[in-house]
Amino acid sequence: MAIEMVDSIDSTNDELMRRIRSGNTTPTLLMAQYQTAGKGRHANPWHAKPGECLMFSLCLPMDPLSWSGLSLVVGLSIVQSLDPDQQLGLKLKWPNDIWMGSVNAPKKLAGILIETAMPTVRTTLARSVVVGVGINIATPTHDCMRIEPIGFQELESNITAPDLLLRLARTLIQDILSFAQTGFSILQDHFHKRDILFMQEISLSDGRIGVAMGVDNHGQLKVQGDSELWLINSSEIQIRSRS
């Protein structure tokens, strides 16, 4: 695997997606000190000052049995590497965030963005996945975030972005490659132990309200409505405050 570090780039995900489309699918880990156009899910901007965040993307050619549940596998791999004994209270917020603290006052530590692409040139190369990860090192000072952020330095004061990358990268790559062979189902119980949404009343982006009941063996969120169980593949989720 190629390992590259750059001072500044528009987006590590966008750069690897450009390479894939041009026919370059070399397995690559690309880390940046600063992103001028960092993004999260649904093209939401990801703001971070230089040195404030660990920002990297992985490019891996993959042909999995199913793509469903990959973001959950990535999140689970990261929290198990950073908090193996659950002493820090790292939790997973379906489908792509790492939170810590109580469900009533959560703080966001990290976000994950999964994208796939195929070369646009004539080639026999298969689809590749780009896994983007952003983990706060210092606590961000931006005041435009819906969920209060937290940096890992509040848990380990001297930690740096390269330190954190060394702690999680090898296992993360192994877990993604294992997912391609086995799928998500064998990790369903492990996800349940870190699921911050379980049994919480939530609202979906389409206006529906229900109770989160965990995930199925494909990584879909199970939401109990008034009269039926919904399986959610993609939606913005908000925890409803208790009155």
Domain residue ranges of the chain, discontinuous segments joined by +: 2-196, 198-243
Is residue 138 within 8 A of residue 160, CB to CB? The reply is no
Which single residue is written with the structure tokens 């049995």?
Answer: 65
Nearest-angstrom CA–CA distance, 74 and 179? 10
Longest dimension (CA), the chain: 58
Number of other CB atoms surrounding residue 155 within 10 Å = 16
Are 2-196 and 198-243 equal in CATH topology?
A: no
Q: What is the DSSP letter of 139?
A: P
Fold for domain 198-243? SH3 type barrels. (2.30.30)
147-179 per-position pLDDT tens digit: 899 999 999 999 999 999 999 999 999 999 999
pLDDT < 70 positions in the chain: 38-48, 122-125, 142-145, 241-243
CATH topology of domain 2-196: BirA Bifunctional Protein; domain 2 (3.30.930)
pTM for the whole structure: 0.92
